[in-house]
Amino acid sequence: MALPLWPAAASSSWPSAQEPGIRSTPWPNPHRVAEASPGLRVVLDLVLNHTLHEHPWFLDSRRGHASAHHDWYVWHFGRNGGPPNNWLSAFGGSAWEYAPERGEYYYRFFSKQQPDLNWRSRAVRQAMFDVMRF
């Protein structure tokens, strides 16, 4: 039996904007489930390359270079009135989405609702390692 950690995953839609990680989910903590059910194996599908476009980190990053999370996502200025380059999304079309409030494009390999994290940022790496250490 699969138990999604995000409530919206159970309804086949994307999760709401919550902090990442096990601690913030209303679903049972995998440690407690495993302790209460000896022999039960808990498998997590942890996606580390992107967040939701409604996530607080991304909303802050969209505000611009003065924001605390300004470099937590892959941002680039466009070229010649279009995206920074010709990279394609896994689902077709450009892998770049324009954010008018910032005046730049953000990279998203999958859906425009899943902006990719900037793993070159030390702060991103630390935050995601913290999520992995739940």
Largest CA distance in the chain: 60
62 within 8 A of 24, measured Cβ to Cβ: no
14 part of a folded domain: no
Q: What is the CATH number of the domain that holds 59?
A: 3.90.400.10
Tell me the pTM: 0.73
| Structural domains counted in the chain | 2
Q: Do 67 and 40 lie in a common domain?
A: no
pLDDT tens across 67-84, in order?
999 999 999 999 999 999
pLDDT tens across 2-25, in order?
545 544 444 434 444 444 444 444
114 part of a folded domain: yes
Domain housing 40: 1-9+19-45
17 within 8 A of 54, measured Cβ to Cβ: yes
Distance, CA of 95 to CA of 79 (rounded, Å):
14
If one compares 113 and 30, the residue with the highest pLDDT of the two is: 113
Confidence (pLDDT) at 45:
76
Q: Do 59 and 125 lie in a common domain?
A: yes
Beta strand extents in 15-123 (DSSP E only)? 75-76, 96-99, 104-107
